[in-house]
Structure 1
Amino acid sequence: MESITAGERENTYRFLASLYLKPPSDFVIAMIKDGSILSAITCEEKGADSSFYSGLAEFVKNAAERPGLKDELETEHSALFVLPSGVLPHEAVYLDRDQRLGGRVTMNVRQFYETAGMEITDSCIEMPDHIGMELEFMGFLCKLEKEFWDKAAISSLQKCIAFQKVFLNEHLSKWAYQCCGKVIESSTSGFYKAIAHLTMEFMKSEEEYVSELYTKTGKEGEEVCETSA
């Protein structure tokens, strides 16, 4: 059961990461237009009180009649996440007193990735503390977790879950909510508003789930993922 859940969590993290890192692909645009993107969301995220699901459903309802949808979302993605007048989706902007990109906060995140074994290729143009990169890293950890469940590699599993818990507590959860709030305030379409709501709702469930999983599997391995302040 936990292995299956880890795979589902990986998919959600990577899906969200892709939407922050790049404009929606042709595949995602097609999913929006035919409505299949709605069925791709897990049942838990379709609750009656879900701001994400209701917002996305409304956006999808009108998407088929918008021939310029791809260009529209590409333009908004640039306005939100690329231009300096946008949201600036980097941890350093929210947690570094001087808001210095590439400084101490950014380097701490990179060090965390390297300690966990995630390699950042030279072709990657985003800084390590971009929200898309941090979500991608959590997806990477979920992939490892699934492999460790399947292999019953208990010690490695415990360390992997410890990495997840510490990274959420010390990095992603400290700033992503504020960043998503700015996306909701700044977005001109229902799509990115909905994605920001989904990110916040998913992270709330993740914080609870990972904490419970950490307690369940034991605390061994916590020391390997301590990060410098």
Structure 2
Amino acid sequence: MNEAELYEARLELIDFCIDVFWDVPEESFVERLLGEGIETPEESVNEPLDEGFALLREWRGENRDRSTEAVREELNREYTDLFVGPRPPVLPHETYYREDADFLGEGLADVEASYEAAGWNPPDDYPEEADFIAVELAFLRYLVERQRTGAEEAFGFERVFLDEHLLEWTDAFVEETREEADPGLFLAGALIFQGLVRFEDELVAQMVPGGF
């Protein structure tokens, strides 16, 4: 895999996770999932990515012959039950899993400070708080795009964001999702998210020796 292909693969993984978690999956995304618009690697990458891709392939096989509308309605119910509630069993927010921060409280300022330091603001179409999974992934996407265009400082920003934020809560979020979700798209998405974070951690370690 050359450098251009690696960047494309990284961005595709991030986009997939955003599409899974930012809200009830859109019709166009479900159509791609059930069609030929999503490809998974055949070679092993890391344990959570491998497990997530295997679950995704299994889910696609089970639903490929169903209508997009029926699958989307089912995903709507699952997403609402898991992440919206009332009283959702899984809350995909960093501050919910941080012992050193209040849920949706003072810990949000630390997340926002990371965005501001890199010159980024969450898009207007992300109605959730700054620590919501899809917002943090959108920031990660911004950093990877900057890296692709030659902004070497973006590797440093990513190193800090991984160490101070994503790596601090991803495993706990995935563990809770595994306990609460049935095997399917959202558990697959959680595992792929976990694998993505680990992959980025290893990649950025090569670019930023010694860390920050």
Length-normalised TM-score, structure 1: 0.80
Equivalent residues of 1:165, 1:214 under 8 A apart:
yes
Q: Which amino acid aligns with 2:52?
A: F
Equivalent residues of 2:126, 2:135 under 8 A apart:
no
Query: Does 1:16 find its partner at 2:17?
Result: yes
Q: How does 1:56-67 map to 2 (within 5 A)?
A: 56-67=56-67
Evaluate the alpha carbon distance shift between residue 47 and residue 163 of structure 1 in structure 2; reply closer, same or farther with a 3 A threshold: closer
How far the C-alpha of 1:168 sits from its partner, in A, is 0.4
Evaluate the alpha carbon distance shift between residue 161 and residue 174 of structure 1 in structure 2; reply closer, same or farther with a 3 A threshold: same
Partner of 1:74: 76
Partner of 2:141: 139
Q: Which amino acid aligns with 1:55?
A: L
Q: In structure 1, how many angstroms separate the alpha carbons of the residues matched to 2:101 and 2:122?
A: 25
Partner of 2:88: 85
Deviates further, 112-121 or 132-141: 112-121
Partner of 1:227: none
Q: In structure 2, how many angstroms separate the alpha carbons of the residues matched to 1:45 and 1:77?
A: 28
- Gaps of at least 5 residues in structure 2 are none
Evaluate the alpha carbon distance shift between residue 123 and residue 58 of structure 1 in structure 2; reply closer, same or farther with a 3 A threshold: closer
Partner of 2:129: 127
- Gaps of at least 5 residues in structure 1 are 149-155, 223-229
Q: 192, 203, 220: which is aligned to 2:197?
A: 203
Aligned residues: 207
Equivalent residues of 2:93, 2:133 under 8 A apart:
yes
Q: Which amino acid aligns with 1:91?
A: E
Q: In structure 2, how many angstroms separate the alpha carbons of the residues matched to 1:44 and 1:131?
A: 27
Q: In structure 2, how many angstroms separate the alpha carbons of the residues matched to 1:171 and 1:139?
A: 15
Equivalent residues of 2:47, 2:195 under 8 A apart:
no
Partner of 2:206: 212
Q: In structure 1, how many angstroms separate the alpha carbons of the residues matched to 2:89 and 2:20?
A: 15
Equivalent residues of 2:11, 2:144 under 8 A apart:
yes
Equivalent residues of 2:101, 2:107 under 8 A apart:
no
**Based on CA coordinates, which of the two structures has the bigger radius of gyration?**
1
Q: In structure 1, how many angstroms separate the alpha carbons of the residues matched to 2:143 and 2:117?
A: 12
Q: In structure 2, how many angstroms separate the alpha carbons of the residues matched to 1:191 and 1:181?
A: 15
Q: Alpha carbon RMSD of aligned pairs, Å?
A: 2.5
How far the C-alpha of 1:4 sits from its partner, in A, is 4.3
Which deviations, in whole Å up to 9, do the C-alpha atoms of 1:181-227 show, x marking residues without a partner? Answer: 21122112411111112112222221111111212xx97xx6xxxxx
Evaluate the alpha carbon distance shift between residue 45 and residue 78 of structure 1 in structure 2; reply closer, same or farther with a 3 A threshold: farther
Percent identity over the alignment? 25
More helix by share: 1
Q: 171, 185, 189: which is aligned to 2:165?
A: 171
Length-normalised TM-score, structure 2: 0.86
Q: In structure 1, how many angstroms separate the alpha carbons of the residues matched to 2:198 and 2:101?
A: 28
Partner of 1:153: none
Q: In structure 2, how many angstroms separate the alpha carbons of the residues matched to 1:125 and 1:136?
A: 13
